[in-house]
Amino acid sequence: MYRNYRYKELSKKSSDVGIIFDVMATGVTGAGKSTTLNSLFQKEVAKIGRGVDPETMRLDSYTLNDAFRLWDTPGLGDGKQKDKEHAKLLIDLLYKDYGENNGWIDLVLVIIEGSNRDMGTTYKLLNDIVVPNFQKDRILVAVNQADVAMKGRYWDRDRNKPTKKLKSFLEEQVDSIQRRVKEATGVKIIRPIYYSAEYGYNINKLMDLLIDNMPNEKRDLVI
């Protein structure tokens, strides 16, 4: 489904700009970046970490269709040395040259875990890596793991969706995150969406967030 989701619209936009759209997915370790990619592709393209060690220790790209490519990146929060190494990988990717001084990455998607367990590292990622090295209006935020946002107590597993109580909590949560990101980084982000990659919930909303905000021109590397 998602390979062809709004494909004609996305393909035309890609053709008009003259590029395949590249989206860098990033976030703290455990936020579910690889699971998100697998949910979008509806098959396992990115290896998912099930133990204590994160699986994504380098940069991998996956082409959804001829107009849209996603980059899976290492998560932050694995210790100072590892974070330093991962930060360099991320910054190098943000400055990767597409040609004619145009940036390779068109959008950055920062994925936040539903429990908000490590927002300090998320703000560090935004403040120290993404915001200083990327155009602010091309930064998007989404909240994964909606199914565990209230410790999983109000997720309707039979209907594979949040109960009314959980949905209300999630709506308040994304508003809060939008405010907190502005306070922490000075960047007013587009209102985040919430989803569950594990259960495939609201993945179409995630695709809408990405497609609706695909740029109309190539990114200038000079910020």
SS3 percent helix, strand, coil of the chain, rounded to 5, is 40, 20, 40
pLDDT in tens, 78-130: 899 999 999 999 999 999 998 888 999 999 999 999 887 778 999 999 999 99
Mean pLDDT along residues 197-204? 95
Split at pLDDT 50, 70, 90, the class of 14 is: very high
For residues 160 and 93, what is the distance between their CA atoms, to the nearest angstrom? Answer: 36
Task: Give me the pLDDT at residue 222, please.
Answer: 66
- Helix then strand count (H, E) for the chain reads 7, 11
Percent of the chain exceeding pLDDT 70 equals: 91
**CB 113 within 8 Å of CB 28:** yes
Better-scored residue on pLDDT, 34 or 53: 34
Comparing 9 with 2, the larger pLDDT belongs to: 9
Q: How many CB atoms lie within 10 A of CB 129?
A: 22
CATH number for the segment(s) 7-220: 3.40.50.300
pLDDT of residue 178: 94
Backbone phi, psi, residue 75, to 5°: -85, 155
What burial class does residue 128 get, using C-beta atoms within 10 Å of its C-beta: 0-12 exposed, 13-18 middle, 19+ buried? middle
For 57-89, the pLDDT digits (tens) are: 467 788 888 999 999 898 898 899 999 999 999
Predicted structure pTM score: 0.91
Task: Check: CB of residue 57 under 8 Å from CB of residue 51.
Answer: no
Please give the structure tokens belonging to residue 7: 């494909």
What pLDDT, on the 0 to 100 scale, is given for residue 221? 87
The pair of structure tokens assigned to 206 is: 């995630």
- State residue 50's pLDDT score: 39
SS3 of 99-146: the string is ECCEECCCEEEEEEECCCCCHHHHHHHHHHHHHHHCCHHHEEEEEECH
Q: What is the mean pLDDT of residues 202-219?
A: 95
Question: Does the pLDDT value for residue 156 go beyond 60?
Answer: yes
Which residue bears the tokens 């998607």? 109
Give domain limits for the chain. 7-220
